[in-house]
Amino acid sequence: MHFLDQAKIYTRSGGGGPGAVSFRREMYVEYGGPDGGNGGKGGDIIFEAVAGLNTLIDFRYTQHFKAPRGGHGMGQNRNGASGKDLVIKVPIGTQVIADDEDRDTVLLDLTQAGQRVVFMEGGMGGRGNASYKTSTNRAPRQHQPGIAPVEQWVWLRLKLLADVGLVGMPNAGKSTFINKLSNAKAKVGDYAFTTLRPQLGVVMHKHREFVVADIPGLIAGAAEGAGVGDRFLGHIERCRVLVHLIDISNADPVDAMHIVEEELEAYSEELSDKPRLVALNKCDLVDDALAADYAKMLLKAGADEVFPISGATGRGMSKLLDAIIDYLPAATVTERPQGAQEELDEKPWSPI
């Protein structure tokens, strides 16, 4: 399924039905009087967050959403039928944004499964002439046409809900990392930008379950559109902790760390302030002494703690996962058969 995280749609609530002008006409009934019913209420536009969706691709082909209008009133004091509400189902984590110049006005933020929000209310139905009858106005002919519908173009923007976000330069080993820890099937290749869209994986560690998001790699100038730009950084804005993967075979790991840090800061101050764990990846390609030297360099450059790991073999991953779950809220223990979970290599590896 093609991944799409932004879409523009047109929404219009249902207009209220007009009230009726009618008079009772029956044989042997003198002075029948007014009996025009009220119009029905128009349908609402409702957004609902549903589980099982992770893309907005459906909105590329269906862009207009119009709720039905209310039925018109009729004689014999019959009110018009109300228009049926139109429910727009979107993935969890979808934001509804006003179609203004900056596109920064968030109208709705749907973050929980089953969350339903009335975005536009349908118009109220108009009054029929029966409702205008008074002791001094026995044969009213006035009525109301019903409240007009509300319409608006809006943008839908999907921000994936994940606990942990993976950041790093291209070829840092993020796809291999998430494939090792979860059942994600991220593409792996020996060239830059093998990941072109975010990937999600569910990780189980010490009976704690959490979601990891892998986004395309960042390069210098991503904030200005270099590479795939910074458009996917929005998918890790909700993460509780970021894991910064650095390729130990990079000519200058310290420079690689600074490049990503600068791009995070250029995107938003909130994102740059999130707690980060630095993982020195591909340590299976070098000896422990070199890994220790690089780790000390990263610590001097500003890293709080460095975790030497190997995404290919899993070595050193357990210690990193222990640090990750310290940032996560208490989770429900998941019942699994004994030995059902594949254990990562627990062999001590502490070159720092």
**What is the residue extent of each domain of the chain?**
1-158, 164-325
Expressed in angstroms, the distance from the first to the final Cα of the chain is: 43
The answer on pLDDT for 271 being more than 70 is: yes
Tell me the mean pLDDT in the region 95-123: 92
Residues 157, 166 contacting (CB under 8 angstroms): no
The pLDDT tens digits of the residues spanning 282-336 come to 888 888 888 888 888 888 888 888 889 888 888 888 999 999 998 888 754 444 4
The answer on pLDDT for 235 being more than 70 is: yes
Cα-based distances in Å from 158 to 41, 173, 174, 323:
32, 25, 22, 28
Strand order of the β-sheet with 86-91 is 86-91, 45-50, 116-120
Query: What are the DSSP calls for 205-216, one per residue?
Result: ETTEEEEEEE--
**What is the model's pTM?**
0.75
CA-based nearest residue to 279, from 203, 159, 160, 169: 169
1-158: what CATH class? Answer: mainly beta
pLDDT, greater one: 54 or 19 = 19
Rounded Cα distance between 64 and 67, Å, is: 10
As annotated, the binding site for GTP includes 168-175, 193-197, 214-217, 281-284, 310-312
Residues 66, 23 contacting (CB under 8 angstroms): no
Rounded Cα distance between 166 and 75, Å, is: 65
As annotated, the binding site includes 168-175, 193-197, 214-217, 281-284, 310-312
As annotated, the binding site for Mg(2+) includes 175, 195
The answer on pLDDT for 214 being more than 70 is: yes
The answer on pLDDT for 34 being more than 50 is: yes
The pLDDT tens digits of the residues spanning 15-27 come to 999 999 999 988 8
The answer on pLDDT for 338 being more than 50 is: no
CATH number for the domain formed by residue range(s) 164-325? 3.40.50.300
Considering 104-118, 190-204, 246-260, the range whose residues carry the highest mean pLDDT is: 104-118
Per-state percent for the chain, helix, strand, coil, to nearest 5: 20, 25, 55
Q: Residue 300: which residues within 8 A CB-CB, separation 6 or more?
A: none
